[in-house]
Chains A and B, each alone.
Chain A
Amino acid sequence: MNDLDPTSDLLATRLASRAGGVSLPSGSLATVRRRAVQRHQRTRIAIGVGGIAVAGGLVALVLADNDPAGDHLAPIGSTETAPEETSQRPPITAGPTTHLTAPLQRGSKGAEVAALQTRLKELGFDPGPADGTFGPGTEMAVWAFEGLANGTPYAMQSGVVTDDLWQQIQSVGAFEPRRSEPDDTHMEIYLPLQAAILFTNDKPTLITHISSGSGEEWCEVFTQDTDDLGIKIDPPILKDECGVSRTPGGIFLFYRRYPGERLTSLGGMWKPVYFNYGIAVHGADQVPRQPASHGAVRIPQWIADYFPEIVGKGDRVYVWGMDGKSPEDYSRDEMLPVFNYPNTHSTLTLEPTTTG
Chain B
Amino acid sequence: MIADSGATTAGAPAVPAVPTFEEFWLERRDPIGRALAMTIGNAQLAAEAVDEAMARALQRWPQVSEMPHPSAWVYRVGLNWSRSIGKRVRRRPPIWLASAASSVDADTTDPSIDAALAALPLAQRSVVVCRLLLGLSEAQTAEALRLRPGTVKSRLSRAVDQLSTTLAHLDPKETDR
Contact = CB atoms under 8 A, between A and B. Distances in A.
B51 A176 contact: no
Contacts of A40: 59
25 contacts: A7-B160, A8-B156, A10-B164, A11-B163, A14-B167, A19-B35, A21-B105, A22-B97, A24-B30, A25-B44, A25-B47, A85-B26, A88-B30, A172-B103, A173-B102, A174-B99, A174-B100, A176-B42, A176-B44, A176-B99, A179-B85, A179-B89, A181-B92, A182-B92, A326-B52
A202 B97 CA distance: 12
B46 interface: yes
B128 interface: yes
Interface stretch (B7-15, B62-70, B132-140, B142-150): B132-140
Given A11-B164, A16-B133, A19-B133, A93 B91 contact: no
Given A3-B137, A22-B34, 6 more contacts: A3-B138, A10-B164, A12-B132, A19-B133, A22-B43, A182-B92
B37 to A, nearest CB: 5
Contact of B43 (A16, A23, A93): A23
A61 to B, nearest CB: 21
A27 interface: yes
B129 interface: yes
A177 B124 CA distance: 25
Given A29-B25, A176-B99, A18 B164 contact: no
A331 interface: no
B105 A8 contact: no
Interface in A21-78: 21-27, 29, 31-33, 35-36, 38-40
A233 interface: no
Contact of A32 (B25, B88, B107, B160): B25
Identify the interface centre among A12, A22, A326: most chain B CB within 10 Å of its CB.
Answer: A22
Nearest to B41: A180
Nearest to A203: B99
Contacts of B132: 4, 8, 11-12, 15
Interface string A233-268: 000000000000000000100000000000000000
A328 B164 contact: no
A314 interface: no
Contacts of B133: 12, 15-16, 19
Interface in B92-139: 92, 94-95, 97, 99-105, 107-109, 113-114, 128-129, 131-133, 135, 137-138
A326 B42 contact: no
A176 B102 contact: no
A11 B170 CA distance: 11
B56 interface: yes
A87 interface: yes
A33 B58 contact: yes
Given A15-B132, A19-B133, A251-B89, A24 B47 contact: yes
A89 to B, nearest CB: 9
B41 to A, nearest CB: 9
Contact of B95 (A11, A21, A39, A180): A180
Nearest to B88: A328
A124 to B, nearest CB: 13
Given A22-B97, A36-B58, A251-B89, A11 B160 contact: yes
B72 interface: no
B135 to A, nearest CB: 8
Given A36-B59, A176-B44, A326-B85, A21 B91 contact: no
A8 B160 contact: yes
A18 B51 contact: no
B59 A39 contact: yes
Contacts of B97: 22
A60 B174 CA distance: 61
Interface string A167-188: 0000011101111111100000
B51 A177 contact: no
A86 to B, nearest CB: 10
B50 interface: yes
A11 B132 CA distance: 7
Nearest to A328: B88
Contact of B34 (A12, A19, A32): A19
A178 B45 contact: yes
B156 to A, nearest CB: 8
B92 A10 contact: no
Nearest to A28: B51
Identify the interface centre among A12, A14, A21, A326: most chain B CB within 10 Å of its CB.
Answer: A21
